[in-house]
Structure 1
Amino acid sequence: MGVSTMHIVDIAQRTPEWHIWRREGISATSCAVIMGENPDKTPLELWKELVGIVEPADLSVIPQVRRGVKFEPMALQAFEDKYGKIALPFCAESTAYPFIRASFDGVLDDKSPVEIKNLSETNHLEVLQLREHSTPFKLYRWQVLHQMIVSGARRGYLWFWSPKHEPCCLIVDWDDLLVRRIIQAEELFWGLVMRGVPPEANPMRDLIPLDRLNLAVWRPLASARRAKESKIAELKAQLKVLTKEAKDLEAEIFPLLGEFRRADALGVKVTSYEVAGTVDWKGVAHELKGVIPLDVIARHQTGSSMATRFSVDASYDESQAKPEPLPRIRQKVEAISEAVEEPSQFFGTFWF
């Protein structure tokens, strides 16, 4: 199974026109999201971006992303110097599946994509030690497989480059089974985008859809909770003042101990003691030119537990709240003759 040709798109990467073009299809970075392999974004969150409900995050403000863009030409040159092959950057679409799109960091003469990754020092060292078993490789190989579907290549390369450490080139080979999964999942997902139909929400990761929340019960409880948050904020402000006043008094009391470390008089007890510093074990590993394997950390980690965090906007006024934008519908449902499939059978699941 393969795609023999691609349609090259004459568009400059990271321009406004490029962002528009990317939103009219599925980019390589979206592949891991759709396959349920991206820990930072779910298919539903990606769908909301593509149908215009939410604005995509501006990744250009992230220091690591800006750093990667800055070093990308150097990294590409380093690849060419090491392997003697020229990799040309451009944008393209699959001819068989035009909605499957890719913005290549570089493509070799045989159409093999070269994807450059300039990671944080911690992640780069993990790649050097664990290679194909590293978390970055397991995440970014989906991106390269997507690019191979566009270019028709049987092999792709992940080029992990660092200005401080040795680079690492890892190979991603064509896998018929994985490619079929990707194409079927992306085709199904794009159909949902076209029709404005959301994929199934993941109860473990997504916000519960409002139509599945009992708002009649939630509304009065939320109102009461916001009122409590206002009172908490008021009392916290008072506590902050009282705490400062108490610290000021303690600063006057402590010198009265002289050379002693403890005192207990007139209802005030003072005890001075030494606190041992914590050990930055990851820092130790870096200094020893290594990475603590995740399985070693897991063996010495206590059992996990569930925690719940509430974030309350005390100033929220439902009467002033704007309704959620409607999804952009590119294709009317009645215009589609094929049966609508259940989306959850592909997203983030192995169906073979």
Structure 2
Amino acid sequence: MKPMNNRKNEHVSLAEKFAKDARKSDFDSFRFVHHSFPEMSVADASLSTSFATLDMEFPFYINAITGGSTWTKKVNEKLALIARETGIAMATGSISAALKDPTVKDSFTIVRETNPTGKIFANLGTGQTLENAKKAIDLIQADALQIHVNSPQEIVMPEGDRDFSNWLTELEKIVQNVSVPVIVKEVGFGMSRETIKQLSSIGVKTIDISGQGGTNFAQIENYRRENEKLDYLEGWGQSTVISLLEAQPFIGQVELLASGGIRNPLDIVKSLSLGARAVGISGLFLHMALREGVEATVLEVNAWKNQIASIMTLLGKKSISELTSTDIILLGEVKDWCDLRHIDASSFANRSSIN
């Protein structure tokens, strides 16, 4: 088996190995204030949203996971079936594998073949050329292009990149010259407001802050290292909640997406209430698809739609945009982070009386 193919298989199998069913996260330091009279019915709740010029029927999607080997082709086919049957969008894993080895292209094209009319995002790493970005888009007739930012993963990865000096320069070329919207995303290390400012300054309009709490690529790559373990980097980065709080000054300038450690529909609604336009889920849907199968995962995804509508009803909010006027209490380490980074946590506690 070729080294790249083997690495892609290792990533999926190790994501399964390290998956945790009921982990604690910063979402637990986030409480909605309950108001007793919603004054709406569940049927009034609209789950539609939009980002990257695309209209979406539902505010969550399958985020980038895999591709690049015979086994991951089967995984991508399962995920594409789930996306097709539920009407949610889907991102492929990094198409760089197919650009290096054309024999594995079918592990990505299977997504479009399985879901010919779905919303599908191509994915590439930062540092790729404009030419490769165009090839990735064309390969799967992508509706948008995700560019992932992953310097901690590269540092821990035994065969990873060590030169990040051209990342912003190459990214700007891609943003300005491709034919589809570009989404820049982290891979589970979160973003700071300084990072978001840099991305906004080069013309990036849609940003997935992808925080800590889900699939941990520092942990996965560290496990793959035979020598010089870097386990002390496995806690690097910011959580999804903290990253969304960091991003608050840029709401209106950029579109925010959230991902990283999403466990249930309540975590989705919490992310939406902090300004995310939609929420990406990778690990959880991967584990469901591999362990329980496509049919069971489709049932679960559809159940999540109903549960999101129910939570919106409890909050008295009929649309995704209205969720940003919910009252939120931030506690513990999240509140401490806000204090040290000069984010006014108290401003979130009384939003319904202000709006």
Range of TM-score over shorter length: under 0.3
Normalising by structure 1, report the TM-score: 0.25
Larger radius of gyration: 1
Query: What TM-score results when the alignment is normalised by the length of structure 2?
Result: 0.24
